[in-house]
Structure 1
Amino acid sequence: MRRTPLVRRSLATAASALLAAGVVASTSSTASAADPVKYVNLGDSYSAGSGVTPYTDFYGLCMQSTQNWSHVIAASKGYALTDVSCGAAQTKDLTSSQYSGLAPQLDAVTADTDVVTLTMGGNDNNTFVSAVLACGSAGIATGGFGSPCKTLYGSTFTDEINSSTYPALVKGLNDIKAKAPGAKVAISG
């Protein structure tokens, strides 16, 4: 059976989520209360759980949910969580301040960090929002028939991801590894 790009992306996203859960689950949950697993969650609205209430007290503009996956995992495993995920974050916010008074997200990662989770990149270059708006409009204009997004935009969005977002993510992952060389890192798309 031939799978469409949307089906492949959906399967990849599901596999990424399972991988993240598996990496976090495979980290020893036998750590003592004196030395809990140090878990850092980085990322954008997908990591922050933006849109899911109630929100944490962590900087209001971030819309970070108390029910996002990092909070749920940390509570179930007894991990010491530092969650600096923030809605609308871009990969540049790993190393620079997203908002005045907000430290770069990588500042939360230290040499003794055991687990890092990350979802990032969708906001880079406004690719996600641009694709949704452009392709949604094209789909409405054609009544959902044909491949209007592909016809109008070709590989524009994929090209932006490959040329800008992917290298920024690789750099971010290398920065995480440099700061916490022993940490297990799970990313989700």
Structure 2
Amino acid sequence: MRVPRLLAFSAGTAAMVGATLLTSGTAHAAGQNYVALGDSYSAGVGAGSYDSSSGSCSRSTKAYPQLWANANGPSSFSFVACSGATTDTVTSGQLGALNSSTTLASITVGGNDAGFANVMQTCVLNSDSTCLTAVNNAKTYAQNTLPGKLDTLYGSMRSKAPSAKFVVLGYPHLYYMNGGICIGLSNTKRTALNSAADALDSTISAASSRAGFTFSDVRPIFNTHELCSGDDWLNSVTIPIGNSYHPTALGQSSGYLPGFKNGVAAFK
């Protein structure tokens, strides 16, 4: 910003002010030790541009954790989210990235515990009634079994990183239901699948609150950008099949990244 001449700042004073502002901003960003945990939604499956060194975890350079780290330059960044992760495999394979120096961590987890991939396959290949049964079974699991598993995981996360701020992100609705053209699943199946996301997010939100973590709901951000909206931020059935029903690169940058930023801002 140009300093008006009427303020009569000397060149030296202006330089000192500018240097102070720059240093304080850099110090704030550099003070973060960020760890990104979770499943395929955090790894960035569906966004492309995968890091070959991540193997079957399929971590993408276009995933929201990497985008945030690129923009903010934290002092350290550990990206350990992995495709297919559950609460158990996060506990056994990812928590080593957390320690007493961790100041910020993010996670998406729970969808694989509830068998959401299998539910999607059932709904794509079978009748409405078979789909509804699969969805209801997943919702029952999300409401009755998942809370305890999340409580255990979140407690372990807090023990590993007692000073960290934890942001837990939810899952979007998959389908836009208010108009639009949608070829494939019936309205009955699409409505049921959205209700499964609601059940999952409700459970995750409640567990986050019990743990003292911040829950960031991405459903409002993805609203009007679900499948069948005409401006989709999610992959439909694709090849490779593992990308199906995951955020695209735009879903990561315009959906999950703002959701994570909202969660971080809640701590301020």
Distance change in 2, residues 1:184/1:33 (3 Å): closer
SS in 1 for 2:155: helix
* Aligned residue among 70, 83, 101 for 1:75: 70
1:59 paired residue among 54, 58, 75: 54
Task: Tell me, in whole angstroms, the C-alpha distance in 1 between the residues paired with 2:135 and 2:90.
Answer: 30
Give CA-to-partner distance per residue, 1:3-47, whole Å, 9 cap, x none: xxxxxxxxxxxxxxxxxxxxxxxxxx8452895310000001000
TM-score by length of 2: 0.49
- Secondary structure, counterpart of 1:178 in structure 2: helix
**TM score, norm. by length of structure 1:** 0.68
CA contact (8 A) 2:122 2:130 kept: no
Provide the residue aligned with 1:106 in structure 2.
Answer: 95
Q: Is 1:133 aligned to 2:121, yes or no?
A: yes
Measured in 2, the distance between the counterparts of 1:174 and 1:50 equals: 27
Q: What CA deviation, in whole Å up to 9, does each residue of 1:28-83 have, x standing for no partner? A: x8452895310000001000001222112443111100110001111111112110
Residue 27 of structure 2: SS of its match in structure 1?
coil
**1:67-123 CA distances to partner (integer Å, 9 max, x unpaired)?**
100011111111121100011111111222xxxxxxx10000011101100001111
Q: What does 1:21-60 align with in structure 2 at a 5 Å threshold?
A: 30=25, 32=27, 35-60=30-55
Change (3 A) 1:113 1:31: farther
Which one has the largest radius of gyration?
A: 2
Compared with structure 1, are the counterparts of its residues 76 and 105 closer, same or farther at alpha carbon in structure 2 (3 Å cutoff)? Answer: same
Structure 1 runs of 4+ aligned residues shifted over 6 Å read none
CA distance in 2, matches of 1:180, 1:88: 24
Kindly tell me: are residues 33 and 47 of structure 1, through their superposed partners in 2, closer, same or farther at Cα, counting changes over 3 Å?
Answer: same
SS at match of 1:95: helix
Equivalent residue number for residue 211 of structure 2: none
Measure, in 1, the Cα distance between the counterparts of 2:52 and 2:32. 23
Describe the shift of the 1:137–1:63 C-alpha distance in structure 2 as closer, same or farther (beyond 3 A): same
Whether contact under 8 Å (1:31, 1:37) holds in the other structure is no
Unaligned runs of 5+ in 2: 1-23, 171-268
Name the stretch that deviates more: 71-80 or 104-113. Answer: 71-80
The residue number in structure 1 matching 2:208 is none
Q: Specify the alignment match of 2:108 in structure 1.
A: 119
Secondary structure at the counterpart of residue 124 of structure 1: coil
| 8 Å CA contact retained: 2:119, 2:134 | no
| Aligned 8 A contact 2:119 2:135 in 1 | no
Checking the alignment, whether the CA contact within 8 Å between 1:38 and 1:112 is kept in structure 2 is: yes
% identical aligned pairs? 32
Q: Which runs of 5+ in 1 are unaligned?
A: 1-28, 97-103
